[in-house]
Amino acid sequence: MQRILAVIFFLAVFLNQSQAQCNSTNCVGPACRCMSTSSPGGLTKAQTPQLVFLAFDGAIATTNYDNYTFLLNKRINPNGCPIGMTFFVFHEYNDYNLTHSLYFKRQEIATHSMSHLTPAATWANKSVAEWTDEIGGIRDALSKFANIPKAEIRGARAPFLQSSGDATFTAMKNLGMFYDCSFPETSVNRTNPPIWPYTLDQGFQHECAIPPCPKGKFPGVWTVPMVALNRNGTICSMADACDKPNTLDETYQYLMDNFQRHYNTSKAPFGIYLTANAWFQDAEYRLQGYKKFLDALSTKDDVYIVPIARGLDWMKNPKPLAEVPNFFSCPTMTQTPCSSYSCYYEGDASPVGSRNMKSCVTCPDVYPWTGNPLGLP
**What is the per-residue pLDDT across 84-131, written as a single tens digit (0 to 9) for each?**
999 999 999 999 999 999 999 999 999 999 999 999 999 999 999 999
CA distance 38 to 267: 8
What's the pLDDT score for residue 334?
Answer: 78
Closest CA to 305 of 261, 269, 344, 255: 269
Mean pLDDT of 251-271: 98
Mean pLDDT of 256-283: 94
Q: Burial of 57 by CB count in 10 Å (0-12 exposed, 13-18 middle, 19+ buried)?
A: buried
Q: Quick one: three-class SS letters along 130-157?
A: HHHHHHHHHHHHHHHHCCCCHHHCCEEC
CA distance 301 to 18: 40
- Residue 198, beta-bridge partner list: 223
pTM of the full structure: 0.94
**What is the per-residue pLDDT across 37-91, written as a single tens digit (0 to 9) for each?**
999 999 999 999 999 999 999 999 998 999 999 999 999 999 999 999 999 999 9
Q: Is 200 helix (H, G, I), strand (E, B) or coil?
A: strand
**What is the per-residue pLDDT across 79-91, written as a single tens digit (0 to 9) for each?**
999 999 999 999 9
CA distance 189 to 207: 11
Identity of the amino acid at 206:
H
Q: How far is CA 344 from the centre of its chain?
A: 30
- Do the beta carbons of residue 133 and residue 94 sit within 8 Å? no
**What is the per-residue pLDDT across 133-145, written as a single tens digit (0 to 9) for each?**
999 999 999 999 9
- Do the beta carbons of residue 47 and residue 321 sit within 8 Å? yes
- Do the beta carbons of residue 307 and residue 108 sit within 8 Å? yes
CA distances from 183 to 109, 162, 168, 199 (A): 19, 8, 12, 13
Q: pLDDT band at 149, cuts 50/70/90?
A: very high
What's the pLDDT score for residue 1?
Answer: 46
Q: Burial of 36 by CB count in 10 Å (0-12 exposed, 13-18 middle, 19+ buried)?
A: middle
Strands (E), 105-254: 108-113, 155-156, 179-180, 184-185, 198-200, 218-223, 226-227, 229-231, 234-236
Q: What is the dihedral of CA 199, 311, 170, 239, to 10 degrees?
A: 100
Q: How far is CA 251 from the centre of its chain?
A: 22
Q: pLDDT band at 332, cuts 50/70/90?
A: confident
Q: How far is CA 33 from the centre of its chain?
A: 19
What's the pLDDT score for residue 12?
Answer: 44
CA distance 159 to 118: 9
Q: Burial of 232 by CB count in 10 Å (0-12 exposed, 13-18 middle, 19+ buried)?
A: exposed
Q: What percent of the chain has pLDDT over 70?
A: 95
Q: How many CB atoms lie within 10 A of CB 334?
A: 5
54 membership: H or E segment, kind and range: strand 50-57
1 Cβ partners below 8 Å, 6+ apart?
none
Q: Which is it for strands 355-359 and 341-345: parallel, antiparallel or unpaired?
A: antiparallel
Question: Which domains are seen in the chain, by residue range?
Answer: 50-327 (3.20.20.370)
